[in-house]
Amino acid sequence: MSGTAGTAPAAPRQGAAIADPVLRADGLDAGYLPGINILNNCSLEAGKGELVGIIGPNGAGKSTLLKSLFGLVNIRKGSVTLNGRDVTALKTNQLVREGVGFVPQTNNVFPSLSIEENLQMGLFLRPKQFAERIEEMWELFPMLADRRRQLAGSLSGGERQSVAMARALMMQPSVLLLDEPSAGLSPVRQDETFIRTRQINQTGVTIIMVEQNARRCLQICDRAYVLDQGTNAYEGPGRELANDPRVIELYLGTLAADVEGKARAAAQDAD
Ligand SMILES: Nc1ncnc2c1ncn2[C@@H]1O[C@H](COP(=O)(O)OP(=O)(O)OP(=O)(O)O)[C@@H](O)[C@H]1O
Ligand SMILES: [Mg+2]
Protein backbone atom coordinates (compact mmCIF):
# COMPACT_ATOMS: atom_id res chain seq x y z
CA MET A 1 0.00 0.00 0.00
CA SER A 2 3.01 2.31 -0.12
CA GLY A 3 1.67 3.83 -3.33
CA THR A 4 -1.14 5.49 -1.42
CA ALA A 5 1.02 6.95 1.34
CA GLY A 6 0.08 10.55 1.96
CA THR A 7 -3.61 10.09 1.18
CA ALA A 8 -5.59 11.49 4.10
CA PRO A 9 -7.60 8.64 5.55
CA ALA A 10 -11.31 9.24 6.02
CA ALA A 11 -12.23 9.47 9.66
CA PRO A 12 -13.93 6.52 11.30
CA ARG A 13 -17.49 7.15 12.37
CA GLN A 14 -17.53 10.39 14.33
CA GLY A 15 -21.27 10.76 14.74
CA ALA A 16 -21.24 14.24 13.23
CA ALA A 17 -24.93 15.01 12.94
CA ILE A 18 -26.52 16.33 9.78
CA ALA A 19 -28.91 19.18 10.43
CA ASP A 20 -32.51 18.00 9.93
CA PRO A 21 -31.81 14.58 8.40
CA VAL A 22 -34.67 13.10 6.38
CA LEU A 23 -33.85 9.68 7.77
CA ARG A 24 -31.72 8.80 10.75
CA ALA A 25 -30.94 5.38 12.19
CA ASP A 26 -29.31 5.50 15.57
CA GLY A 27 -27.55 2.54 17.21
CA LEU A 28 -29.59 -0.23 15.60
CA ASP A 29 -29.42 -3.82 16.77
CA ALA A 30 -31.49 -6.07 14.54
CA GLY A 31 -31.63 -9.66 13.39
CA TYR A 32 -33.69 -12.57 12.19
CA LEU A 33 -33.11 -15.32 14.74
CA PRO A 34 -33.64 -14.97 18.49
CA GLY A 35 -30.47 -13.92 20.28
CA ILE A 36 -28.46 -13.35 17.09
CA ASN A 37 -27.95 -9.76 16.04
CA ILE A 38 -26.96 -9.10 12.45
CA LEU A 39 -26.80 -5.34 12.98
CA ASN A 40 -24.80 -4.22 16.01
CA ASN A 41 -25.09 -0.59 17.02
CA CYS A 42 -25.43 0.45 13.39
CA SER A 43 -26.12 4.09 12.57
CA LEU A 44 -26.75 6.09 9.43
CA GLU A 45 -28.29 9.36 8.38
CA ALA A 46 -29.33 10.97 5.13
CA GLY A 47 -29.87 14.69 4.64
CA LYS A 48 -32.48 16.16 2.33
CA GLY A 49 -31.57 15.53 -1.29
CA GLU A 50 -28.51 13.43 -0.46
CA LEU A 51 -27.43 10.32 -2.32
CA VAL A 52 -25.97 8.09 0.38
CA GLY A 53 -24.12 4.87 -0.44
CA ILE A 54 -23.67 1.76 1.68
CA ILE A 55 -20.87 -0.63 0.79
CA GLY A 56 -19.21 -3.53 2.54
CA PRO A 57 -18.38 -7.20 2.07
CA ASN A 58 -20.95 -9.92 1.39
CA GLY A 59 -22.89 -10.70 4.53
CA ALA A 60 -21.96 -7.39 6.20
CA GLY A 61 -25.64 -6.66 6.84
CA LYS A 62 -26.28 -4.08 4.12
CA SER A 63 -29.59 -5.59 3.00
CA THR A 64 -30.54 -6.18 6.62
CA LEU A 65 -30.00 -2.49 7.34
CA LEU A 66 -32.26 -1.43 4.46
CA LYS A 67 -34.88 -3.99 5.47
CA SER A 68 -34.80 -2.70 9.05
CA LEU A 69 -35.40 0.82 7.76
CA PHE A 70 -38.43 -0.51 5.86
CA GLY A 71 -39.99 -2.42 8.75
CA LEU A 72 -39.05 -5.85 7.40
CA VAL A 73 -36.60 -6.85 10.13
CA ASN A 74 -37.20 -6.60 13.83
CA ILE A 75 -35.29 -3.68 15.40
CA ARG A 76 -34.21 -4.79 18.89
CA LYS A 77 -32.41 -1.68 20.00
CA GLY A 78 -31.91 1.85 18.71
CA SER A 79 -34.24 4.13 16.80
CA VAL A 80 -35.20 5.28 13.33
CA THR A 81 -36.53 8.78 12.75
CA LEU A 82 -38.09 10.09 9.56
CA ASN A 83 -38.20 13.86 9.25
CA GLY A 84 -37.66 14.07 12.99
CA ARG A 85 -40.46 11.65 13.89
CA ASP A 86 -39.80 8.32 15.58
CA VAL A 87 -40.84 5.56 13.14
CA THR A 88 -38.92 2.68 14.74
CA ALA A 89 -42.05 0.65 15.45
CA LEU A 90 -43.95 1.41 12.23
CA LYS A 91 -44.93 -1.39 9.88
CA THR A 92 -43.97 -1.43 6.22
CA ASN A 93 -47.31 -0.14 4.90
CA GLN A 94 -47.21 2.72 7.41
CA LEU A 95 -43.66 3.59 6.34
CA VAL A 96 -44.78 3.67 2.70
CA ARG A 97 -47.54 6.08 3.68
CA GLU A 98 -44.98 8.21 5.54
CA GLY A 99 -42.79 8.52 2.45
CA VAL A 100 -40.32 5.64 2.43
CA GLY A 101 -39.83 3.65 -0.79
CA PHE A 102 -37.86 0.42 -1.11
CA VAL A 103 -36.51 -1.53 -4.07
CA PRO A 104 -35.33 -4.95 -2.84
CA GLN A 105 -32.25 -6.78 -4.06
CA THR A 106 -34.21 -9.70 -5.52
CA ASN A 107 -37.80 -10.63 -6.42
CA ASN A 108 -38.61 -6.99 -6.95
CA VAL A 109 -41.46 -7.26 -9.49
CA PHE A 110 -44.74 -9.16 -9.67
CA PRO A 111 -43.82 -11.38 -12.66
CA SER A 112 -47.37 -12.38 -13.57
CA LEU A 113 -48.56 -8.75 -13.74
CA SER A 114 -47.95 -6.31 -16.58
CA ILE A 115 -45.62 -3.35 -16.19
CA GLU A 116 -48.61 -1.05 -15.80
CA GLU A 117 -50.20 -3.31 -13.18
CA ASN A 118 -46.91 -3.44 -11.27
CA LEU A 119 -46.91 0.35 -11.13
CA GLN A 120 -50.54 0.30 -10.06
CA MET A 121 -49.53 -1.91 -7.11
CA GLY A 122 -47.08 0.80 -6.07
CA LEU A 123 -49.94 3.23 -5.61
CA PHE A 124 -52.52 0.99 -3.98
CA LEU A 125 -52.67 3.38 -1.02
CA ARG A 126 -53.66 6.31 -3.27
CA PRO A 127 -55.41 4.87 -6.33
CA LYS A 128 -57.00 8.20 -7.33
CA GLN A 129 -53.61 9.63 -8.24
CA PHE A 130 -52.85 6.79 -10.66
CA ALA A 131 -53.40 8.61 -13.97
CA GLU A 132 -51.23 11.54 -12.97
CA ARG A 133 -48.43 9.53 -11.38
CA ILE A 134 -48.14 6.97 -14.15
CA GLU A 135 -47.66 9.71 -16.75
CA GLU A 136 -44.71 10.96 -14.75
CA MET A 137 -43.24 7.44 -14.64
CA TRP A 138 -43.63 6.99 -18.41
CA GLU A 139 -41.65 10.22 -18.84
CA LEU A 140 -38.93 9.03 -16.47
CA PHE A 141 -38.81 5.50 -17.95
CA PRO A 142 -39.88 5.86 -21.61
CA MET A 143 -38.81 2.32 -22.45
CA LEU A 144 -41.43 1.03 -20.00
CA ALA A 145 -44.17 3.17 -21.53
CA ASP A 146 -43.79 1.44 -24.88
CA ARG A 147 -44.25 -1.96 -23.27
CA ARG A 148 -46.76 -1.15 -20.57
CA ARG A 149 -48.83 -4.27 -21.25
CA GLN A 150 -45.90 -6.68 -21.26
CA LEU A 151 -45.66 -9.08 -18.31
CA ALA A 152 -42.93 -8.04 -15.89
CA GLY A 153 -41.79 -11.68 -15.71
CA SER A 154 -40.71 -11.51 -19.36
CA LEU A 155 -38.44 -8.48 -18.86
CA SER A 156 -34.65 -8.40 -18.62
CA GLY A 157 -32.95 -7.80 -15.27
CA GLY A 158 -32.36 -4.13 -16.04
CA GLU A 159 -35.94 -3.60 -17.18
CA ARG A 160 -37.24 -5.28 -14.04
CA GLN A 161 -35.05 -2.99 -11.98
CA SER A 162 -36.64 -0.01 -13.76
CA VAL A 163 -40.14 -1.36 -13.07
CA ALA A 164 -39.28 -1.84 -9.40
CA MET A 165 -37.86 1.66 -9.15
CA ALA A 166 -40.86 3.19 -10.93
CA ARG A 167 -43.22 1.27 -8.66
CA ALA A 168 -41.48 2.66 -5.57
CA LEU A 169 -41.59 6.18 -7.03
CA MET A 170 -45.35 6.06 -7.66
CA MET A 171 -45.91 7.08 -4.02
CA GLN A 172 -43.55 10.07 -4.35
CA PRO A 173 -41.33 8.90 -1.49
CA SER A 174 -39.19 11.43 0.33
CA VAL A 175 -36.55 8.74 0.78
CA LEU A 176 -35.87 5.84 -1.54
CA LEU A 177 -33.95 2.74 -0.39
CA LEU A 178 -32.23 0.87 -3.24
CA ASP A 179 -30.64 -2.52 -2.68
CA GLU A 180 -27.98 -3.20 -5.32
CA PRO A 181 -29.69 -1.54 -8.28
CA SER A 182 -26.84 -2.51 -10.63
CA ALA A 183 -26.60 -6.19 -9.64
CA GLY A 184 -26.48 -8.61 -12.55
CA LEU A 185 -26.44 -5.90 -15.22
CA SER A 186 -23.95 -5.42 -18.04
CA PRO A 187 -21.50 -2.52 -17.56
CA VAL A 188 -23.49 -0.31 -19.96
CA ARG A 189 -26.76 -1.05 -18.16
CA GLN A 190 -25.04 -0.48 -14.82
CA ASP A 191 -23.98 2.97 -15.97
CA GLU A 192 -27.52 3.72 -17.12
CA THR A 193 -28.81 2.65 -13.73
CA PHE A 194 -26.37 4.89 -11.88
CA ILE A 195 -27.22 7.84 -14.14
CA ARG A 196 -30.95 7.29 -13.63
CA THR A 197 -30.45 6.99 -9.88
CA ARG A 198 -28.67 10.34 -9.87
CA GLN A 199 -31.43 11.87 -12.03
CA ILE A 200 -34.11 10.69 -9.62
CA ASN A 201 -32.03 12.01 -6.73
CA GLN A 202 -31.76 15.39 -8.48
CA THR A 203 -35.54 15.67 -8.56
CA GLY A 204 -35.28 15.99 -4.78
CA VAL A 205 -35.66 12.38 -3.64
CA THR A 206 -33.20 11.42 -0.91
CA ILE A 207 -31.63 8.08 -1.86
CA ILE A 208 -29.88 5.47 0.27
CA MET A 209 -28.26 2.93 -2.03
CA VAL A 210 -26.54 -0.34 -1.19
CA GLU A 211 -24.05 -1.26 -3.90
CA GLN A 212 -21.84 -4.20 -4.70
CA ASN A 213 -20.06 -2.04 -7.26
CA ALA A 214 -18.28 -0.09 -4.54
CA ARG A 215 -16.02 1.97 -6.76
CA ARG A 216 -18.86 3.27 -8.92
CA CYS A 217 -21.04 3.84 -5.88
CA LEU A 218 -18.37 5.93 -4.15
CA GLN A 219 -17.90 7.94 -7.35
CA ILE A 220 -21.50 9.04 -7.58
CA CYS A 221 -22.76 9.27 -3.99
CA ASP A 222 -22.45 12.33 -1.78
CA ARG A 223 -21.53 10.35 1.30
CA ALA A 224 -21.11 6.69 2.04
CA TYR A 225 -20.95 4.21 4.88
CA VAL A 226 -18.76 1.14 4.95
CA LEU A 227 -20.36 -1.66 6.96
CA ASP A 228 -18.44 -4.58 8.39
CA GLN A 229 -20.07 -7.37 10.38
CA GLY A 230 -23.21 -5.37 10.98
CA THR A 231 -21.54 -2.28 12.30
CA ASN A 232 -20.16 1.00 10.96
CA ALA A 233 -16.53 0.73 9.90
CA TYR A 234 -15.97 4.01 8.04
CA GLU A 235 -18.00 6.86 6.67
CA GLY A 236 -17.34 10.01 4.73
CA PRO A 237 -17.72 11.72 1.36
CA GLY A 238 -17.76 9.09 -1.41
CA ARG A 239 -14.64 10.30 -3.16
CA GLU A 240 -12.71 10.52 0.10
CA LEU A 241 -13.60 6.95 1.02
CA ALA A 242 -12.65 5.76 -2.45
CA ASN A 243 -9.12 7.02 -1.73
CA ASP A 244 -8.89 5.91 1.89
CA PRO A 245 -6.13 3.28 2.05
CA ARG A 246 -7.95 1.37 4.79
CA VAL A 247 -11.16 1.17 2.80
CA ILE A 248 -9.19 0.18 -0.26
CA GLU A 249 -7.34 -2.51 1.59
CA LEU A 250 -10.38 -3.89 3.36
CA TYR A 251 -13.07 -3.74 0.72
CA LEU A 252 -11.86 -2.67 -2.67
CA GLY A 253 -9.26 -5.17 -3.70
CA THR A 254 -9.46 -4.38 -7.39
CA LEU A 255 -9.33 -0.68 -6.74
CA ALA A 256 -6.25 -1.20 -4.58
CA ALA A 257 -4.54 -2.88 -7.52
CA ASP A 258 -5.56 0.01 -9.79
CA VAL A 259 -4.33 2.64 -7.37
CA GLU A 260 -1.02 0.89 -6.92
CA GLY A 261 -0.70 0.50 -10.66
CA LYS A 262 -1.32 4.22 -11.18
CA ALA A 263 1.11 5.14 -8.42
CA ARG A 264 3.76 2.95 -10.04
CA ALA A 265 3.07 4.52 -13.43
CA ALA A 266 3.31 8.02 -11.92
CA ALA A 267 6.60 7.12 -10.22
CA GLN A 268 7.98 5.82 -13.52
CA ASP A 269 6.87 9.02 -15.30
CA ALA A 270 8.68 11.06 -12.67
CA ASP A 271 11.92 9.12 -13.20
N1 LIG B 1 -33.94 -14.21 6.46
C2 LIG B 1 -32.81 -14.45 7.12
N3 LIG B 1 -32.77 -15.31 8.17
C4 LIG B 1 -31.63 -15.54 8.85
N5 LIG B 1 -30.46 -14.94 8.57
C6 LIG B 1 -30.43 -14.08 7.54
C7 LIG B 1 -31.60 -13.79 6.76
N8 LIG B 1 -31.26 -12.90 5.80
C9 LIG B 1 -29.95 -12.64 5.97
N10 LIG B 1 -29.45 -13.34 7.00
C11 LIG B 1 -28.05 -13.32 7.48
O12 LIG B 1 -27.71 -11.99 7.82
C13 LIG B 1 -26.35 -11.72 7.47
C14 LIG B 1 -26.31 -10.42 6.67
O15 LIG B 1 -27.02 -10.65 5.46
P16 LIG B 1 -27.35 -9.46 4.47
O17 LIG B 1 -28.18 -10.04 3.40
O18 LIG B 1 -27.90 -8.31 5.24
O19 LIG B 1 -25.88 -9.08 3.95
P20 LIG B 1 -25.44 -8.15 2.74
O21 LIG B 1 -24.40 -7.22 3.28
O22 LIG B 1 -26.63 -7.53 2.11
O23 LIG B 1 -24.74 -9.21 1.78
P24 LIG B 1 -24.69 -9.27 0.16
O25 LIG B 1 -23.58 -8.33 -0.23
O26 LIG B 1 -24.31 -10.70 -0.10
O27 LIG B 1 -26.03 -8.88 -0.39
C28 LIG B 1 -25.84 -12.93 6.74
O29 LIG B 1 -25.05 -13.68 7.62
C30 LIG B 1 -27.10 -13.70 6.37
O31 LIG B 1 -26.87 -15.07 6.36
MG1 LIG C 1 -27.50 -7.70 0.26
Query: Tell me: the pLDDT tens digits for 121-139?
Result: 999 888 889 999 999 999 9
Residue 7 has pLDDT above 90, yes or no: no
**Is 168 among the domain residues?**
yes
**Rounded distance from Cα 51 to ligand 1 centre (Å):** 23
60 lines ligand 1 (CB under 6 A): yes
Which of ligand 1's atoms lies nearest the C-alpha of 227? Answer: 21
Residue 33 has pLDDT above 50, yes or no: yes
In angstroms, the CA 58 to CA 106 distance is 15
Model confidence, pTM: 0.87
In angstroms, the CA 5 to CA 175 distance is 38
Side chain identity at residue 106, one-letter code: T
Report whether 83 contacts 174 (CB < 8 A). yes
Domain, as residue range, for 215: 18-106+156-255
**Higher confidence at residue 161 or residue 9?**
161
- Predicted local confidence at residue 4, as pLDDT: 37
Helices and strands in the chain, H and E counts: 11, 10
How many structural domains compose the chain?
Answer: 1
- Predicted local confidence at residue 5, as pLDDT: 38
In angstroms, the CA 101 to CA 92 distance is 10
CATH of the domain at 196: 3.40.50.300
Residue 262 has pLDDT above 70, yes or no: no
**Is 89 among the domain residues?**
yes
**Rounded distance from Cα 10 to ligand 2 centre (Å):** 24
